[in-house]
Amino acid sequence: MSKKDEFRIEEVQSREIEEFVKSSRRLYTNGMVKIWPPGCTLFTEYKNHVERVRQLEVRPDDVWIITYPKCGTTWTQEMTWLLLNNLDFNTAKNIRLIERSPFMEFACFVSRDEKVTSIDDTLTQTQNLESPRCIKSHLPKQLLPKQLWTVKPKIIYVTREPKDVAASYYHHHRLLYGYTGSWEQFVNAFTGSYEFWKIRNEENVLITSFEEMKKNLPAVIKSVAKFLDRTLSPEQLEQLCDHLSFDSMKNNPAVTMESEMALFDNSHLGGKVQPFIRKGQVGGWKSEFTPELAQKIDKWTADNLKGKDYLHQH
């Protein structure tokens, strides 16, 4: 056991997690640790970056996109960056999203093998980005930079039906991390957090959802624009909706991370480079979950969000 700042870091001692690690050929090569609070499991390498993340400078004009993975993060990033940058579609199409809107902790997550040494130090990239910054993170609330809660920049948090998240994240693990374990094994290791739901009424926090974007994208764009103090003409709104459509996003190399996908060994998938943006469906979990596994996720959700007015009542 060791301590970093106010955190307790322990080696993972769980049969399910150990089996999960063995089935992920790339990301978890050095094992995993559990960090308290919030009690989340991350790869061992991350413990070397806890303080760097916590001490990162936060600026008042930042906009932070914070989500659990596979909740519509890329969609929200592209929308937010364009709203912050006067709908500069030319730059959006020619400069990759990960350069315009960095994934703050990404470099801390990636195995340092010879195939990914080209990945930049994303903490330094985030620190050096010109204002206004649009920053992405998947970290739990307790692990984010301390200044988020004193400087109070605008934060957009995106939710999604947990079973759809699990299904999408399973395919993501197979694609990026070489996961070869079973679907059931993956679901057994899958959990999330509801810490941001507790602060949903703060003035600097906007919570939206993947389902809302699928159901009524123009309404979500208007909501985010209002939150960011931006106005759009009907013509601009239509342009942005077209740019953010699923087909447009899936075929836009600036957001699909094609060069990053090609870095990873995909022999377990038949050697074919798989798309980063997959189906983008609501309810896709129904074709993947057994009734027993669906019930397990529903029970976890009900137990942890009881009485919290949670918006996903599927």
Residues marked active site are found at 138
Closest CA to 269 of 195, 174, 198: 174
Calculate the CA dihedral of residues 209, 49, 145, 17 and round it to 10 degrees.
40
d(CA 253, CA 91): 12
Cis peptide before 153 (omega within 30 of 0): no
Amino acid present at 2: S
Amino acid present at 153: P
Residue 213: count of CB within 10 angstroms of its CB: 22
Closest CA to 106 of 181, 51, 27, 30: 27
Spatial contact of 180 and 268, defined as CB atoms under 8 Å apart: yes
